């Protein structure tokens, strides 16, 4: 058999093997690691303790005018001065060293067609749900990205199912600051069992929630049947051994 033919057969076989392995990795549900229940419970708890009602404010004493009984009323211009408006600080980059991920983060909202969180149209970007929490603030800050996409190949979160507890996640913000998180748990939910109230919670302990697709692929719906979810929590510099 000609050498060129053998090379062609080998190349096709290798591509087929890679495709089969990739499909197996996506379809096979990852084992749950960490204490998922504790993370979910922390997001179900209120962010702040309930406080007692404040006392009714007392009206200020107004001095009377000995002339007609009415206090003097100072007059000032009605126009407010122009105040500087700072751009909001938002996440702009995500780094996950264990996966070799260093990806742009873009703010997204709700996909009007599906009613679900909007995700990027490419496999390179990560979406941040801008109507939820900021990373590091109380509640769940949701970052989502594709596991793969037809015509584009593996996505930035293709390896999310292999993330381990203790892995470090960094989020860079538009003002140049960086928040550091440690993976505490990883699990998979069937899409119809996804705990949306927990994942998109605006109260509770600060949690960074990373989401992508997993499980089997449905040709009819054009989507996977489950979601891989990774929960990470903020850590201080001393936890990384960076403190002096």
**SS3 letters across the chain:** CCHHHHHHHHHHHHHHHHHHHHHHHHHCCCCCEECHHHHHHHHHCCCCCCCCCCCCCCCCCCCCCCCCCCCCCCCCCCCCCCCCCCCCCCEEEEEEHHHCEEEEEEEECECCCCCCECCCCCCCCEEEECCCCCCCCCCEEEEECCCEECCCEECCCCCHHHCCCCCEEEEEECCCCEEEEEEEEEEEEEHHHCCHHHHCCCCCCCEEEEEEEEEEEECCCCEEEEEEEEEEEECCHHHHCCCC
Mean pLDDT of the residues in the chain: 78
Instruction: Tell whether the model's pLDDT for residue 113 goes beyond 60.
Output: yes
Read off the tokens for 134. 């900021």
Q: Which residues pair with 140 in a beta bridge?
A: 207
Residue 156 has phi, psi (to 5 degrees) of -65, -25
Per the structure, the complete domain to which residue 204 belongs is given by 90-240
Q: Check residue 56 and give its pLDDT.
A: 40
The answer to the question of residue 160 being in a domain is: yes
Whether 126 maps to a domain, the answer reads: yes
The Cα–Cα gap between 229 and 187 comes to 5
Query: How much is the pLDDT for 244?
Result: 41
CATH of the domain at 189: 2.40.260.10
Q: In this predicted model, which residue has the larger pLDDT, 56 or 217?
A: 217
Using the predicted structure, report yes or no on whether residue 237 has a pLDDT greater than 50: no
- Higher-confidence residue: 202 or 82? 202
Handedness of CA 218, 39, 116, 22 (dihedral sign): negative
Q: Of the given ranges (122-126, 204-208, 218-222), which has the lowest mean pLDDT?
A: 218-222
- pLDDT, residue 29, reads 65
**Residue 102 within a domain:** yes
Return the higher-pLDDT residue of 222 and 49. 222
Higher model confidence: residue 80 or residue 10? 80
Structure confidence at residue 67 (pLDDT) = 52
Lowest pLDDT segment from 45-54, 106-115, 131-140, 229-238: 45-54
More confidently predicted of 65 and 82? 82
**Spatial CA neighbour of 196 closest among 7, 74, 44:** 44
Q: Minimal CA–CA distance to 224: which of 128, 144, 163, 164?
A: 144
Could you tell me if 106 and 122 are in contact, meaning their C-beta atoms sit under 8 angstroms apart? no
Token pair, residue 92, equals 């702009």
Residue 101 lies in a domain: yes
Structural domains counted in the chain: 1
Q: Whole-angstrom Cα distance, residue 182 to residue 227?
A: 20
pLDDT given for residue 163 in this prediction: 96
In a domain, 62, yes or no: no
Question: Does residue 141 form part of some domain?
Answer: yes
Q: What global pTM score does this model have? A: 0.71
Residue 132: name the closest of 216, 202, 218, 48 by CA: 202
Whether 55 maps to a domain, the answer reads no
Confidence band (pLDDT; 50, 70, 90) for 209? very high
Range of weakest confidence among 93-97, 154-158, 168-172, 214-218: 214-218
pLDDT digits (tens, 9 = 90+) for 150-195: 899 999 999 999 999 999 999 999 999 999 999 999 999 998 899 9
Query: Please, are residues 200 and 238 in contact by the beta-carbon 8 Å criterion?
Result: no
Predicted confidence at residue 175, as pLDDT, reads: 95
Instruction: State what percent of residues in the chain have pLDDT above 90.
Output: 52
Query: Is 63 domain-assigned?
Result: no
């Amino acid at each position: 058999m000609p050498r060129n033919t053998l090379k062609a057969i080998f190349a096709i076989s290798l591509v087929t093997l890679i495709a089969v392995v990739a499909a197996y990795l996506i379809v096979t549900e990852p084992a749950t690691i960490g204490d998922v229940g504790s993370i979910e419970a922390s997001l179900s708890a209120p962010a702040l303790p309930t406080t007692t009602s404040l006392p009714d404010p007392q009206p200020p004493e107004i001095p009377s005018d000995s002339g007609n009984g009415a206090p003097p009323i100072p007059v000032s211009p009605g126009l407010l001065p122009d105040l500087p408006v700072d751009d909001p600080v938002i996440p702009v980059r995500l780094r996950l060293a264990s996966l070799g991920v260093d990806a742009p983060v873009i703010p997204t909202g709700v996909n009007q067609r599906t009613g679900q969180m909007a995700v990027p149209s490419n496999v390179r970007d990560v979406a941040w749900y801008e109507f939820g929490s900021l990373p590091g603030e109380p509640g769940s800050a949701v970052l989502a990205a594709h596991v793969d996409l037809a015509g584009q190949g593996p996505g930035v979160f293709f390896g999310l199912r292999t993330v381990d507890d203790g892995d470090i996640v960094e989020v860079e913000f538009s003002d140049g600051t960086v928040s550091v998180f440690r993976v505490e748990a990883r699990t998979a939910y069937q899409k119809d069992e996804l705990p949306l109230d927990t994942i998109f919670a605006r109260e509770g302990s600060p949690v960074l929630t990373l989401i992508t697709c997993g499980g089997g692929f449905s040709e009819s719906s054009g989507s996977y049947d489950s979601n891989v979810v990774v929960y990470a929590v903020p850590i201080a510099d001393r936890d990384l051994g960076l403190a002096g």
